[in-house]
A and B are shown apart, each in its own frame.
Chain A
Amino acid sequence: MNKFLLLPRLSVQSIRKNGATYFPYILSGIFSVFAFFVFSTIINNDIMKTLPKSSYALMLMQIGQILLGLILFPFITYTNSFLIKRRKKELGLYSVLGLDKKHIAMMMVWETLLIYVIATAGGVLFGLAFSKLIFLALMKISLLSVDTTFTFSLKALYITMLYFLAAYGINLAINIIHVFKNDPNDLIKGAKKGDREPRHLWLTALTGLLLLGTGYAIAITAKIDSDIFLNFLLAVALVVIGTHQFFRAGLLALLKILKRSNKIYYRKTNFVTISGMLHRMKKSASSLSNICIFSTMTIITLLCTLSVLAGSKSMLNYQYPYDAVVTLSRSAADNPADADAKLQELADSKQVRIKDKISFTYLLLHAEKHGSKFTTQSPSGSYKDFFAIRLVSLDDYNRLENRHKTLDDDEVIIFSTGPDFGYNHIELGNETYRVKEELVSSVFDQKEKKDVYNQKFYLVVKDSVVMDKLGTAFGSTAETDKITVFNLNLSGTEQNRLDFIYDARAWCGTLSGSSSVKNGISGRQETASMNGSLVFLGIFFSILFTLCLILIMYYKQITEGYDDRENFDIMQKVGMSDTEVRATIRKQILMVFFSPLLVAILHTMAGFNMISGLLGTINLYSTKLIILCALIVSGLFIVIYGLSYNITSKTYYRIVRKMNDNETAANA
C-alpha cells in the first residue's frame, strides 16, 4: 500500500467501522451546517433589507443566527467528546502497534477534514435546495409580501464555511491534545473506577429542592407587570440550578435509600440498575439534568411558538382594534364636530369610507391608587400605583351605548380595562362616590383582566359639573387633558386607507395642541411580521433542540452500552437469561428516559402561569388557547420522545448483545 495513502485510508476505515457513533455525528453536522447556512442566506439576502416592514424579521433572524452559533458550537463539542471517548482504545492500539502520535494526529486531521467536507457539502447542498422554500415560508408566516427574486450570496457560504472550520478545528485540537496527554496504556484501559460520592449529599439534595421550590413559587405567583422579565430570568436560573442539584444529589439520595432496603435492592432488575446508576452517578446526573433542561426548553419553545401562531389574530385585534385612532386635545381642536368634519373630508378625498366611528371626549386624571382610594400622584409614589382615569359624561356613554341610564351627583359607573375594580364605592381626592355599576365590557375600550400593564379606568359621571370639579381636584386642565378620540375603521384599498392616515397625520401636524394618529394598518403588519418571525424562529429552534436532545440521549445510551456490554456478558455467564437482560435494559433506559421527561413536564406545569404572563406582554391573553397548545405540545413531545426511546433502546440492546455474539465467535 502506498505509504502516503495509508493515513487517509485508515481515517476512512475508522469512520466506516464506527458507524454507530459516526453516522449520527456526521448527520448532526450536516443539519448544523444546513441550519446555519439557511440563516446566513436569508440574512445576507438583499431583498431582506429592501423589503418593507421586514426590519423586525431581519433583526430577529440576526439574533437567531447568533443564538444558533452559540448553541451549535457546544453541541458539536459535546458530541465530539463522546466520539473521542469511544475511540480512545482504538487510538491506543494504533499507538502500541507503532503509529507515532504524530501520525495519529495526522490521521485525525484527515478524519476531521473528511467529516468537515461531508458535513459542509451536505449541509450547503440541502441549504441550496431548501433555503428558498424556507425563505418563502418565513415571508408567508410573517405576512410579508412575497418576492421571488431570492438570491444566494457567496457571503453566506463564506460565513458558514468559516464558522464550521473553526468549530471542527477546535474539536480537532481538543482531540489531539487528548491523544498527546495520555500514554497508550491509559488509552487502552479507560476508566473503570466508579464516581466518588459528592460531599454533603443531603444538604445538596435539600438545597436543590429548595431552589426548585423557590423557582416554582416565583413562577406560579408571577403577575404580568414590569417585573415579569426579571422574575422569569430569576425563576429560570433557580430551576436550572435546582434541577442540576436535584438530579445530582436527589437521585443519588434516592438510590442510596433504595440500596439500603434489602427487599428492593436485591431484586433481579433493580439490583443491576441501581448499582449501575450509582457507579456512574456523576455522569448520569449531569446527562439527566441536561436532558431534562433541554426537554423543558423544547416544550416551552414549542408551546410559545404554537400559542403565538394560533393567537396571532387575537393579538393583532387586541393591540390594534381600529385602522386609525385620532386623538386630539382640547387645545388642538376646541370643537370636536369640526375635527369630525375635517376627517370626513380627508376620507372623501382619498375615496375611503369610514365604516365605524366611535368618538367621545374624556377628561384625563393622573391618579395614584390605593385600594378604592385615588389621590393625586405624589412624587414619592410608586410607578406601579399610578393610573390614568378617564372621565366620560353620562350623555356620551348613553349615546355610544344606546342606553338611558341615570346617575346622581355622587354616583359613577366604572369600567376597568384590566382587572376588575371590585369596590362598591370609590374615593376620589376628598370625595366618595358610590359605584352604581362596574361594566364588564364597554365601547370605550377593550377589557383584558390579565393586563395589569396597560390598566386604565373609565369613570362615567353625571355631567360636566362633576367632571370639572374632579378635574380641578386632580389638577387637570381642559386645554391638555380634555381629549377627544376618534376610533375609525375604514374601507377602501389598502393604499388609499394608508394615504388617508398619512393625510390625517399631516393635518394633525398643523394643529397647535397635542394630537396623534395611531396607524393600525401598518401596526398590524409590523406585529404580524414580528409574530411570524418569532414563530419561524420557534419552529426552527424547536427542531434544533429536539435534535440535540435526541442525539444527547442516543450518545449517552450507546456510550453506556459499550461500558455495559462486558457487565452483561459476565451476568449472562453467572446465570442471567436473555429475557432478564432485556428486562433490565428496559428498566434502566426507562428510568434514564422518563425521569427527565417527568421533571420537564413538571417544570412546564409550574412555569405555565409565567409563560402565559410572558405571552401576555405581547398581548396574548387567552389562557384557554395556551392550555390547549400546552396539551398539544406535550403530547407531541412525548411521542417524539417515545420514538427516540425506542430507537435508542434498540441500539443499546444491539451493542450489548454484539459483544456476546463476538464472544461465541471468538471461541471458535
Chain B
Amino acid sequence: MALLEVKNVKKIYGSRLGGTKIQALAGVTFSVEKGEYVAIMGESGAGKTTLLNILATIDRATSGQVILNGQDLTKIKQSELAAFRRDNLGFVFQDFNLLDTFTLQDNIFLPLVLAGKQADEMKKRLEPLARKLGIEQILQKYPYEVSGGEKQRAATARALITNPRIVLADEPTGALDSKSSSRLLKLFEEINKEGQTILMVTHSIQAASHAGRVMFIKDGCVFHQIYRGNASNEELYAMISDALTVLQAGGDKNE
C-alpha cells in the first residue's frame, strides 16, 4: 500500500455570505510510495499551496480522501490535529518560519518539546542530524544572526528531528541564493536516499530536477507526471522544461 494516497480531493472556497464560489482543487488523485521524492510544479493559482495545506492538515478538503499510512486525515478530530502533525509530518517553509526568540537548537527542539520528549533524547537525536546538515557550529546562534541558507538547514533539521513519515516542503529554495539552493537540494537528495519520503512544492525547475518524480498541477488537477527513471538531474531538468512549455501552450489553447 502507498504511504500517501490522495483520492479525488476537491476544495471549493466560497465567501461566507454565499456569493461566488472558487474551485481551487477539482479532484486531485495521486499516491506517494514510501521513500519517494516527489516535486509538485505548477503556476501561481494552480492549487499547489491549497493541496499542500490539505496534506499538512492546516486546511480541510471539501470532498475526497487523504490517507497517510492508512489513516484518513479528513477524519482526524480538530483537537488531535496538532499532535498528528507533530508526530507524522515535517515542514520546511519558504520563509523558514524560525522563531527569533529561540536559538537554532531550541527551534529544532520545538516539536520534540511539544511532544514532551526528554532533553537527553533530543540532544541524542540532534547530534547526527546537525552534523549531516552542517549546522553544528551555529546551533547556539539566533535566527537573525545567521544566513538564509543556514536558516533553511536549521528548519530542515527541525522537520527531520521528529522522524516524520513525510516531509512537506513549500518552496524551500524560494528565498535562497543559488549556492545555498544547490547545497540544500543536495541535502534533500541525500536525506531521500536514506529513505525519507519528501513531497516538495516548487516553482523552480532546478529544485524539481532533484526529485524522483515531478507532478504538474494545472487548474486544480494533476495534469502530467514525469518519472526520473534512470535520467540524470540534467536530463530531468530538460524534460521538466519541455513539459512546462507544453503545459503553457496547452493552457493558452484552453483559454
Contact = CB atoms under 8 A, between A and B. Distances in A.
B142 A575 contact: no
A70 interface: no
Nearest to B15: A668
**Which of A192, A267, A574 has the largest count of B CB atoms less than 10 A from its CB?**
A574
Interface in A245-289: 262-263, 265-268, 271-272, 275-276, 278-279
B101 A278 contact: yes
Contact of B115 (A278, A573, A575, A579): A575
A579 B79 contact: yes
Contacts of A567: 99-101
B185 interface: no
A643 interface: no
Contacts of A576: 82, 114
A278 B100 CA distance: 11
Interface in A566-593: 567, 570-580
A574 B158 contact: yes
A570 B13 contact: no
B237 interface: no
Nearest to B158: A574
Interface size class of B (residues with CB under 8 A): 35 or more
Contacts of A263: 119
B101 A266 contact: no
B138 interface: no
B87 to A, nearest CB: 8
**Which of B82, B118, B120 has the largest count of A CB atoms less than 10 A from its CB?**
B82
A268 B81 contact: no
**Which of B24, B114, B122 has the largest count of A CB atoms less than 10 A from its CB?**
B114
B59 A664 contact: yes
A266 B86 contact: no
A237 B110 CA distance: 43
B111 A575 contact: yes
B79 to A, nearest CB: 7
B82 A668 contact: no
A266 B119 contact: yes
B91 interface: yes
A275 B106 CA distance: 9
A353 B221 CA distance: 109
Contact of A267 (B83, B101, B113): B113
A266 B49 contact: no
A586 B135 CA distance: 34
B106 to A, nearest CB: 6
Given A574-B91, A574-B158, A266 B144 contact: no
A337 to B, nearest CB: 88
A194 B102 CA distance: 10
Contacts of B110: 271, 571, 574
A279 B86 CA distance: 25
Interface string B110-130: 110111111110100000000
B116 A268 contact: yes
Given A279-B101, A664-B58, A271 B113 contact: yes
A268 B113 contact: yes
A573 B158 CA distance: 12
Interface residues of A, number: 30
Contacts of A194: 100-101, 142, 144
B119 A575 contact: no
Interface in A620-668: 664, 667-668
B7 to A, nearest CB: 22
Interface string B167-209: 0000000000000000000000000000000000000000000
Contacts of B113: 266-268, 271
Contacts of B97: 570, 573-574
Contacts of A181: none
A575 B114 CA distance: 7
B86 A575 contact: yes
B163 to A, nearest CB: 13
A17 interface: no
A667 B82 contact: no
Interface in A190-205: 192-194
Contact of A574 (B101, B114, B122): B114
B79 A577 contact: yes
B85 interface: yes
A193 B144 contact: yes
Interface in B71-90: 78-79, 81-83, 85-87
A575 B76 CA distance: 14
Nearest to A262: B119
Contacts of B118: 262, 266
A668 B87 CA distance: 26
Contact of B13 (A276, A574, A578, A668): A668
B53 interface: yes
A276 B101 contact: yes
A578 B79 contact: yes
A266 B107 CA distance: 12
Interface string B211-239: 00000000000000000000000000000
Nearest to B100: A192
A365 B72 CA distance: 101
B102 A575 contact: no
Contacts of A272: 101
A277 to B, nearest CB: 9
Contacts of B49: 667
Nearest to B103: A275
Contacts of B109: 266
Contacts of A265: 119
Contacts of A575: 82-83, 85-87, 111, 114-115
A577 B99 contact: no
Contacts of A571: 99, 110, 114
A472 to B, nearest CB: 83
B29 interface: no
Interface string A554-573: 00000000000001001111
A316 to B, nearest CB: 59
A272 B22 CA distance: 38
Contact of B81 (A279, A577, A664, A668): A577
Contacts of B59: 664, 667
B83 A577 contact: yes
A664 B24 CA distance: 14
Given A577-B82, A664-B58, A667-B49, A279 B111 contact: no
Interface in A342-378: none
A576 B93 CA distance: 17
A192 B144 contact: yes
B50 interface: yes
A194 B85 CA distance: 29
Contacts of A279: 100-101
Contacts of A667: 49-50, 53, 58-59
Contacts of A574: 85-86, 91, 97, 110-111, 114, 158
Contacts of A580: 82, 114
A278 B86 CA distance: 25
**Which of B24, B93, B101 has the largest count of A CB atoms less than 10 A from its CB?**
B101
B66 to A, nearest CB: 16
Nearest to A261: B119
Nearest to A564: B101
A580 B81 CA distance: 12
Interface string B3-28: 00000000001000000001010000
A585 to B, nearest CB: 14
A643 B142 CA distance: 37
Per CB-CB distance, the 6 closest pairs between chain A and chain B, nearest first, are A575-B86, A577-B82, A262-B119, A279-B101, A668-B13, A570-B97
11 contacts: A193-B100, A266-B109, A268-B114, A279-B101, A567-B101, A574-B114, A579-B79, A664-B58, A664-B59, A667-B50, A668-B22
Interface of A: 192-194, 262-263, 265-268, 271-272, 275-276, 278-279, 567, 570-580, 664, 667-668
Given A262-B120, A271-B106, A668-B24, 10 more contacts: A193-B100, A266-B118, A268-B114, A570-B97, A574-B110, A574-B114, A575-B85, A575-B87, A575-B114, A668-B22
